[in-house]
Amino acid sequence: MGLIFCAVAAVIACGALAMGGVLLRRALRLRAAWRGGLTAEARCLRAYTTTSGGDSPITHQHHVYEFTTGDGRQMRVSEEDGPATIVEGDIVVLRYAADAPERATAKPYRPVALAVGMGCVALFVLFVVGFCVFFAVTALAVTSEDF
């Protein structure tokens, strides 16, 4: 029985670690785009929203931009959760790194807010993983006493 509790705790801990990894990757991509130093004027080809969730839906703003890189390549990028003030036909400034123009972004870079957010995510992940370890150790200790 203790192994089942350990397996459940391990799955929850892995889920928390995966969530933290995804959020960290997004933050690093945004930082890389802004630190890449390249900018391009882009035209918003499409702006749309999607909703997810049941009783309390969450709305996400999506944009599709088209721009020309510094070396002349035409690029189309899709961005989720971009600025809600951008509509189809708007001209915006995208920032991107030379080695990854497909990750161009129109999102503002707020390093302090990004660092605070990632710190909160790290604390949450550490708390969940710590609780899962505590739960698994306790479950093994309790079930081993039964024998």
CA 121 – CA 117 distance, rounded (Å): 6
The amino acid present at 3, given as its one-letter code, is L
Share of the chain above pLDDT 70, in %: 98
What element of type H or E holds 122?
Answer: helix 111-145
What the block records as the tokens of 98 is 């030379």
Q: What is the DSSP letter of 9?
A: H
Is the pLDDT assigned to residue 146 strictly greater than 90? Answer: no
Q: Contact 20/128 with Cβ under 8 angstroms?
A: no
Residue 115: its pLDDT value, please? 92
DSSP three-state, residue 120: helix
Q: Are strands 74-80 and 58-68 parallel, antiparallel or unpaired?
A: antiparallel
Q: Contact 45/64 with Cβ under 8 angstroms?
A: yes
- Span 49-80, pLDDT tens digits: 888 877 888 888 999 999 999 888 999 999 98
pLDDT band at 143 (very low <50, low <70, confident <90, very high): confident
- Span 114-135, pLDDT tens digits: 999 999 999 999 999 999 999 9
Whether the CA torsion 77, 78, 82, 85 is positive or negative: it is: positive
